[in-house]
Structure 1
Amino acid sequence: MLARLPLPYLLLMAAFATFLFCFVVDRYVKMRKATVLCLVVSVGCCIGMIAVGGLQFQHWSAEQMLVLYSFAWTGLTIGLLPYRKPYLEYREEQRRGIRRDGYEFPKWCPMVTVSSVIAAGLLGAVLVR
Structure 2
Amino acid sequence: MLARLPLGVPLLMAAGATLLLCLAAQRWFRPRGRTVAKLALVSAGCCLGMVVTGAVQRDWSVAQMLILYSFTLAGALIGLFPSRRLLAAFAEESRRGVRRDRYHLPVRHQAAFYGAVILMGLLAFVLAT
Normalised-by-shorter TM-score class: 0.7 to 0.9
Normalising by structure 2, report the TM-score.
0.86
- Report which stretch shifted further, 76-85 or 24-33: 24-33
Partner of 1:78: 78
Partner of 2:55: 54
Partner of 2:118: 118
- Report which stretch shifted further, 97-106 or 78-87: 97-106
- Structure 2 unmatched runs, 5+: none
Q: 2:49, 2:91 → 1: CA distance?
A: 33
Q: Write out per-residue CA displacement over residues 96-120 of structure 1, whole angstroms, 9 at most, x where no aligned residue.
A: x683634422222122111111110
Q: 2:34, 2:82 → 1: CA distance?
A: 23
- After TM superposition, give the deviation of residue 93 of structure 1 in Å: 5.5
- After TM superposition, give the deviation of residue 41 of structure 1 in Å: 1.0
Alignment-mate amino acid for residue 47 of structure 1: L
RMSD: 2.0
Summarize the Cα distance change of 1:123–1:33 in structure 2 as closer, same or farther, 3 Å threshold.
Answer: same
- After TM superposition, give the deviation of residue 15 of structure 1 in Å: 0.5
- Report which stretch shifted further, 102-111 or 4-13: 102-111
How many residues get paired?
A: 127
- How do residues 16-31 of structure 1 correspond to structure 2 at under 5 angstroms? 16-31=16-31
Q: Write out per-residue CA displacement over residues 33-73 of structure 1, whole angstroms, 9 at most, x where no aligned residue.
A: 221121011100110000001122x5210011111111011
Partner of 1:99: 98
